[in-house]
Structure 1
Amino acid sequence: MSLLPIIFRDMERPLRMLEQQMRMAEDFFPYMIGSNKNVMDDTRSGHETVVHDKAKFQVKIDVNQFAPEEITVKTVNEKSIVIEAKHESNDEKGSVSRHLVRQFTVPEGHDLKKVETKLTANGILIITAPNKAQPAVQERIIPVTHVMTKE
């Protein structure tokens, strides 16, 4: 009988425990793991994705358990976007009540007056705040006056 498999199993156990603890940390702090990225993604649970790049600030959130008329999106203090969805129904089996509220602070430089929303057929709400347009540089031709004297 060889002791090799038992030794390897015992050596592997701490690594499995560390991996499990890291997964638990991701559940509690999903946006801090890999914080160098501008994309914050919680794809394991399928809830929401936040993208912040040069062109836009965008939130994708799963609201498939709500009807379009049960969803509201609003801006607060020109700094945040608030998504609220509320569903209540009653039938012979009982009542169902769901309430979702998410607030996202939008980084400086985005135009909250031009926020757009789209609800896909599979229940994904996409909210996009474009970057504020930088003032266009206006070009003006300045005539060169030719003078015959030496300076």
Structure 2
Amino acid sequence: MALLPYLLEELNRPTIYDQNFGLGLFNDDFPSAVGSLRPYYLRPWRLFPHDESGISSVQHDKDGFKVNLDVQQFKPEEVNVKIADNYVIVNAKHEERSDEHGFISREFTRRYLLPKDVNAEALTSSLSSDGVLSIQAPPKAITNDKGNERQIPVTKTNAPAIKQQQQQQKK
């Protein structure tokens, strides 16, 4: 059995540098009495809540471009989304404020490159009640790659064109 996956699992453990710093302690932050009785019994599911928090998901498929980002530590007015140089830039910052342990401030910036087949002008963003920022851009409309070529409909008339021209010339 390989030990490397189990050793690397501890590297995924939240630290003081995570965005969850200052939110309080989780139950698995405390040593467990059961864990000391069985030191080689691994419980990887104890890290599951941390894996889902603060991770952005990016999707690009036939339906367009979509980003979901956890910004629950910020108020809606502290989150800014803008487009610059074909990048979507998400910036969130709140000023230093005091809590029961001292002072805390938080800031982050994320940049996402917009794919070429996405309509950047129609980009929208929304913030859910549970603090998930969703950014969406639809795909560009399919254009004809043949330049200015377009199909012209042919209409049928019941009158002959040659006779009409001859009658016009006689007049």
Report the Cα offset of residue 134 of structure 1. 1.9
Counterpart of 1:120, as a letter, is S
For residues 26 and 142 of structure 1, the distance between their equivalents in structure 2, rounded to whole angstroms, comes to 67
Counterpart of 1:142, as a letter, is V
Is 1:67 the counterpart of 2:84? The answer is no
Task: Give the total of aligned pairs.
Answer: 117
Does structure 2 conserve the Cα–Cα contact (< 8 Å) formed by 1:88 and 1:95?
Answer: no
Q: How does 1:58-97 map to 2 (within 5 A)?
A: 58-77=66-85, 79-91=86-98, 93=100, 94-97=102-105
For residues 87 and 134 of structure 2, the distance between their equivalents in structure 1, rounded to whole angstroms, comes to 15
Is 1:16 the counterpart of 2:3? The answer is yes
Is 1:141 the counterpart of 2:128? The answer is no
CA change 1:138–1:122 in 2 (3 A) is farther
Larger % of strand: which?
1
Q: Which of 126, 131, 152 is 1:118 aligned to?
A: 126
Percent identical among aligned pairs is 28
For residues 117 and 22 of structure 1, the distance between their equivalents in structure 2, rounded to whole angstroms, comes to 35
For residues 80 and 7 of structure 2, the distance between their equivalents in structure 1, rounded to whole angstroms, comes to 37
For residues 60 and 124 of structure 2, the distance between their equivalents in structure 1, rounded to whole angstroms, comes to 15
**Which residue in 1 is equivalent to 2:62?**
54
Unaligned runs of 5+ in 2: 14-49, 161-171
For residues 92 and 54 of structure 1, the distance between their equivalents in structure 2, rounded to whole angstroms, comes to 46
Unaligned runs of 5+ in 1: 1-11, 28-42
Report the Cα offset of residue 101 of structure 1. 0.4
Counterpart of 1:85, as a letter, is A
Q: How high is the TM-score relative to the length of structure 1?
A: 0.64
For residues 57 and 144 of structure 1, the distance between their equivalents in structure 2, rounded to whole angstroms, comes to 46
For residues 57 and 26 of structure 1, the distance between their equivalents in structure 2, rounded to whole angstroms, comes to 28
Report the Cα offset of residue 133 of structure 1. 1.3
> In structure 2, the residue corresponding to 1:113 is in which secondary structure?
helix
Root mean square deviation of aligned Cα: 3.2
Counterpart of 1:70, as a letter, is E
